[in-house]
């Protein structure tokens, strides 16, 4: 099933954010909202390929740049925080709903800091399914160079979201066991503390960026199927 792409912009705390909505042929399709990592953008290969795979299953996908990133407004060093990213996600959901593109089912995809933001956003609105990759639970577990941790933008990223996991369900968790930025013990803890239905995939020798092509293919395949089985309504027989 082919998708068309539509540029969408919206306001989040008076910052103009920009993104791309991949729309399948079916009207009122379910939609996945993507949240990228701290230093990334909506043009990450994982998001683009996942958007294409979701389109094959009749699922819309909205990938956007958080404030201070990519083509969106804001100065990264001044506007970046986990709370701000949660607000961006919630405003993205409201924007797609207001345009009438969205069916009743919503999924979230988050990579790295985007995964943490999705977990918290899911506690503030109805989410039917979620996929996270290399998501940190505590800022102190992120292995950044010492000189970066002294910068204001990193100090604003102090968080511990572990107490919020018990409210999360229908989550697929990816992590590489050789991740040198966010230890894969985070993924194990997410799996242990979230509710059913859930699945954990640890990728052997996988790094933080999921640079291994085999790992990327596995991710696209399994994440796409996860969303398909939980977001796409089964058509009645006969």
Read off the tokens for 177.
């066991």
- Quick check: 116 and 159 in contact, CB under 8 A? yes
Alpha helices in the chain (DSSP H): 45-56, 76-79, 82-98, 113-121, 146-149, 152-155, 185-193, 213-231
Q: Are strands 129-133 and 3-12 parallel, antiparallel or unpaired?
A: unpaired
Cis ω for the linkage preceding 197 (within 30 of 0): yes
- What's the domain range around 94? 3-231
Q: Is the pTM of this model over 0.95?
A: no
**pLDDT by residue for the chain (238 residues), tens digit each?**
678 999 999 999 999 999 999 999 766 899 999 999 999 999 999 999 999 999 999 999 999 999 999 999 999 999 999 999 999 999 999 999 888 767 789 999 999 999 999 999 999 999 999 999 999 999 987 876 544 555 665 667 889 999 999 999 999 999 999 999 999 999 999 999 999 999 999 999 999 999 999 999 999 999 999 999 999 977 655 4
184 near 201, Cβ under 8 Å? no
Burial class (CB in 10 A: 0-12, 13-18, 19+), 41: middle
**Of 107, 158, 106, nearest to 136 (Cα)?**
158
State how far Cα 224 lies from the chain centre.
Answer: 13
Contacts of 154 (CB under 8 A, 6+ apart): 144, 148
Is the residue at 237 inside a domain? no
103: tokens are: 């069916």
Q: For residue 236, tell me if it sits in a domain.
A: no
CA–CA separation, 156 and 79 (whole Å): 9
Assigned domain for 81 exists:
yes
Sign of CA dihedral 94, 21, 103, 175: negative
The answer to whether position 74 is within a domain reads yes
What 3-state class would DSSP assign to 229?
A: helix
Task: Report the phi/psi class of residue 149: left, alpha or beta, with left for phi > 0 and alpha for psi in -120 to 50.
Answer: alpha
Q: In CATH, what number is assigned to the domain containing residue 215?
A: 3.40.50.1820
The pLDDT, as a whole number, for residue 237 is 55
Alpha-carbon distance 202 to 216, whole Å?
A: 13
Q: How many Å apart are CA 198 and CA 28, to the nearest integer? A: 26
Work out how many domains the chain is built from and give that number: 1
Instruction: Report which of 112, 104, 109, 60 is spatially closest to residue 89, judged by C-alpha positions.
Output: 109
Among 207, 132, 202, 211, CA closest to 165: 132
Pairing status of strand 60-64 against strand 15-24? antiparallel
């Amino acid at each position: 099933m082919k998708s068309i792409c539509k540029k969408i912009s919206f306001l989040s705390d008076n910052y103009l954010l920009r993104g791309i909505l991949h729309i399948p042929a079916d009207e009122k399709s379910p939609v996945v909202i993507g949240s990228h990592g701290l230093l990334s953008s909506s043009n990450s290969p994982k998001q683009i390929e996942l958007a294409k795979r979701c389109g094959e299953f009749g699922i819309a996908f909205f990938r956007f740049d958080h404030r201070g990133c990519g083509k969106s407004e804001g100065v990264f060093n001044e506007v970046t925080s986990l709370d701000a990213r949660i607000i961006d996600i919630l405003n993205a959901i409201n924007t797609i709903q207001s345009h009438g593109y969205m069916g009743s089912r919503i999924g979230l995809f988050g990579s790295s800091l985007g995964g943490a933001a999705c977990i918290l956003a899911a506690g503030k609105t109805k989410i039917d399914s979620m996929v996270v990759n290399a998501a940190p639970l505590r800022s102190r577990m992120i292995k950044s160079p010492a000189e970066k941790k002294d910068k204001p933008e990193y100090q604003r990223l102090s968080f511990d979201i572990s107490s919020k996991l018990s409210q999360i369900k229908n989550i697929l968790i990816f992590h590489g066991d050789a991740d040198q930025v966010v230890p894969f013990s985070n993924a194990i803890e997410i799996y242990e503390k979230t509710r059913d239905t859930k699945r954990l995939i640890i990728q052997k020798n996988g790094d933080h960026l999921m640079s291994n092509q085999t790992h990327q293919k596995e991710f696209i395949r399994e994440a796409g199927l996860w969303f398909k089985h939980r977001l796409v309504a089964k058509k009645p027989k006969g």
